[in-house]
Amino acid sequence: MRAFKALICNWRKDNRGVSAVILGLTLPVMVGFIGLGAEVGLWYMQHRETQTAADVAAYTGALELRAEKPTSVITSEATVEAQRNGYDSSNGSLHITILSDIRVRANVVQRHPRLFSSLFSNSRSVEITALAEAEYDPGGPACVLALNGSAPDALAIGGNTDIQLIGCNIMSNSTADLAVDQFGSSVVTADCIYATGGISYTANLTTTECSKPIEGAQPIADPYSSVEMPTTYPSECNTIPSMGPSKTVTLSAGRYCSDLVMQGDVTLESGVYIVEGNLQINSGALVNGDQVTFLITGGGVVTFNGSAEINLTASTTGDYAGILVYQDRNYSGLDNVINGNSNSTFTGAIYMPTNHVAMLGSGAADAGCFQLVADTIQLSGDSHFAYNCESTGVQEARVKGLVSIVL
């Protein structure tokens, strides 16, 4: 008995193996917490993947919205891009919502099987959600638009020039590395300069509606692509009166079957002037015309010489509303030159969709409406133009800027 009591006493005092016992009791708990921590880390990685899918879906949706695609295309393209970035439609859902004309929301739900956390929950999976919104810069009207989709220097601004564009933008559709080139001592002020390709500019550029020129912009569709030259012409050709530096003449609208060269003091009656040849205004001329449109065909070019004072306002009604000069798109590779003195005003659109135009002279229309649309453009004069085009018939060419994630 005494020996047994001693054994019990010694056993109670013996602490050998206690750590093993404690470890055995706590190890399952420790393993569980380690596993749960690892699973939480996995959830974090899965959430990042889901958020990436949502961001890409929203961004893609905004790109398609900017391109004016229908809702079905927006949703389809957003889904495809989300799947490329980890979204699994068999274990989740994707909802695309068009919030406004410029903004898209993507809501992604992704289900993942539970691991250690299944010990603490009756559900077999965990839902991970991500929300993203993207929108594009709505931009504004472009009053200078180069349509060519690939030409380098599609829009060049240089020389000793001062260009001020009030309430509008400059845009080049070219994807070239140098789609817009503002160089030399040229001074330019505009809301912003956009290009599908690259832009080079100097410290003399001021953009009032953007912090710097914007590359990678969406190309602008030709605003007058549906406007066609006449299918039939008047049967008779107008007689061109004798003109000279000291003469005063009035021209009537209609068909001119040869070059139309204006000099002296010329008044243009309202209407459409079809010129089957060159349209030229000589130096020193004074030309005034209200509600007029020139249609240049037969391979003719436009040359408005320097020191001429030219005041023209486009027709506001009819098939050619808003267009001041329209050069037949069936003739390409032609070079046009537009000059004028500082008193010259142009109200309307100069439209030369397949040809080059060099605007070298001076002009002032600070409160008017001016738009220049051509295949390629050179600006090298002192011109101040504004874009106040309501009720003028001028078709808006709206720039759409970059897409960005906003949520």
Residue 119: what pLDDT?
A: 63
Whether 160 and 264 share a structural domain: yes
| Total domains, the chain | 2
The pLDDT-based confidence of 265 (bands split at 50, 70, 90) is very high
pLDDT tops 70 at residue 357? yes
Amino acid at 378: Q
pTM: predicted TM-score of the whole model, two decimal places: 0.81
The tokens describing 119, both together, are 């010990």
> pLDDT per residue over 138-189, tens digit each?
889 999 999 999 999 999 999 888 888 989 999 999 999 999 999 999 999 9
Residue at a domain's end among 136, 169, 196: 136
Tokens 């309307």 -> residue: 348
pLDDT band per the 50, 70, 90 thresholds, residue 339: confident
* 216 and 349 together in one domain: yes
Q: Do both 114 and 242 map to the same domain?
A: no
Confidence at residue 41, expressed as pLDDT on a 0 to 100 scale: 76
Residue keyed to tokens 């601004």: 157
Residues 96 and 31 in one domain: yes
Q: Clarify whether residues 73 and 190 are in a common domain.
A: no
**Domain shared by 163 and 130, yes or no:** no
Sheet holding 125-136, edge to edge: 92-98, 103-113, 125-136, 403-405
pLDDT digits (tens, 9 = 90+) for 358-370: 988 766 666 689 9
Identify the pLDDT of residue 27: 52
pLDDT band at 37 (very low <50, low <70, confident <90, very high): low
- Give the Cα separation of 374 and 275 in Å (integer): 19
146 and 163 together in one domain: yes
Q: How far apart are CA 210 and CA 219, in angstroms?
A: 18
Domain boundary among 102, 136, 170: 136
If asked whether residues 92 and 161 sit together in one domain, one would say: no
pLDDT for the residue 16: 60
**DSSP of 380-404, one letter per residue?**
-SEEEEEB--TTS-PPP-B-B--EE
Query: Cβ(359)–Cβ(380) under 8 Å?
Result: yes
Residues 163 and 125 in one domain: no
Q: Which helix (H) or strand (E) holds 201?
A: none
Q: Both 109 and 163 in a single domain?
A: no
Q: Which of 106-120, 150-164, 200-214, 298-312 has the lowest mean pLDDT?
A: 106-120
Domain boundary among 83, 107, 136: 136
pLDDT at 117: 66
Which amino acid is residue 76, in one-letter code?
S
* CA torsion through residues 199, 203, 204, 210, sign: positive
- Is the predicted pLDDT of residue 22 greater than 70, yes or no? no
- Measure the CA–CA gap between 120 and 39, rounded to whole angstroms: 13
Residues 263 and 299 in one domain: yes
Is the pLDDT score of 19 beyond 70? Answer: no
Which domain, by its residues, includes 196?
Answer: 142-405
pLDDT in tens, 367-380: 689 999 999 999 98
Split at pLDDT 50, 70, 90, the class of 384 is confident
What is the β-pairing status of strands 193-195 and 169-172?
A: parallel
DSSP code at position 60: H
Average pLDDT, rounded, for the chain: 89
pLDDT score for 42 = 76
- Joined together, the tokens standing for residue 135 give 């929108």
215 and 100 inside one domain = no
Per-residue pLDDT reduced to its tens digit, 1-11? 666 666 666 65
